[in-house]
Each structure stands twice: as structure tokens, then as C-alpha cells.
Amino acid sequence: MQVNISDIKVPERIRKDNGNLDPLMDSLKRCGQLNPITVTHKLELVAGFRRLTAAKRLGWKVINATVIDSPSEIRRVEIEMEENLCRKDFAPEELLAGLKKLEELRNPKLGTRLKNVLKNVFSKLTFWKRRKNKRNNEPEIQQPVSYPTPRADDEPANYGV
């Protein structure tokens, strides 16, 4: 159900710091509102304060809302706590995998180009490695044989003289 934002009443909240709303606002601009806020029949906000605030800052006049029966004060606080505690951020690896997948889907040729670049790099490395190995298999240049320098008290016979 769509609700006029100006009609929504916001009771005192547990959370005082909304954090940076810019990413949420960007998401709302790009994807629209994916999850409705929750309000009572009297249009008192129960859940979705950050979404509501971001929508206001974007200049929206209406917002999608789920309407529920008015909860007790205890239940309202439980819902606010639950909504904010149960959310789990992506682990860094999960975020990286998601970004990689998006990039592959947005630029399918990039994956092919990257694969070709890596293939080219590895083929050049293989070429240089083979070339080095070939050089190592060539006959070695003979090093001159060195004989010990005779000392005055040595016998000449010891030096093949």
C-alpha cells in the first residue's frame, strides 16, 4: 500500500544515529524501494526509519508500507530491535564475489578479454622459460683449467714440470 510520507508519524526511536544514508538513497534511486516500511493503521512508524528518512531526502511524496495492528509499546520496541539486530552485512569475500559476478554480467566480454590477456601473458612466460631452458641445455663453454701456483719450497715434479 502506498502512504503519503507527510502523514506518517514517527514515535521516539531507540536508534538515534542513522549512519550514512547516501548508499541507501543511491539504492532507492537505482532499484526503487525493495522493502516496504511498516506502519500502524494510525500511520505510526513501526519499522523502516532509515528507508523513510532516505525517501524524504529524495523528495518522495509517497512510500510503500505494510500496515499492521498497533503493537504494544513493548512489541514496538522489540520490532525495532529485531529489524536492526537481525540484519547481517556481507562478509568481505561475499561482497567481492557479488561485485565480481555483477561485473561479469554487466561486461561479459571483459571476462573473455581478461582470459585472453592472462592466456597471452602465460604463453609469453612459457616461451621465455623454454628459451631459458634451451640455453641451459646448450654445451657449456669450457672453463680454463687452473693449476696451483708453485711455491719456492715445492718440488718441481709436483707440478708436471
Find the mean pLDDT for residues 41-56.
96
pLDDT score of 161:
47
Q: What is the pLDDT of residues 85-106, one digit of tens each?
A: 777 677 888 888 888 888 888 8
The mean pLDDT of the chain is 81
Of 25-29, 43-47, 64-68, 107-111, the one with minimum mean pLDDT is: 107-111
Domain ranges in the chain are: 2-93
pLDDT score of 149:
59
Please state, as a whole number, how many other Cβ atoms lie within 10 Å of the Cβ of residue 98. Answer: 11
pLDDT score of 38:
95
By CB neighbour count within 10 A (0-12 exposed, 13-18 middle, 19+ buried), where does 39 fall?
Answer: buried
CATH of 2-93, one of 3.30.200.20, 3.30.428.10, 1.20.58.100, 3.90.1530.10: 3.90.1530.10
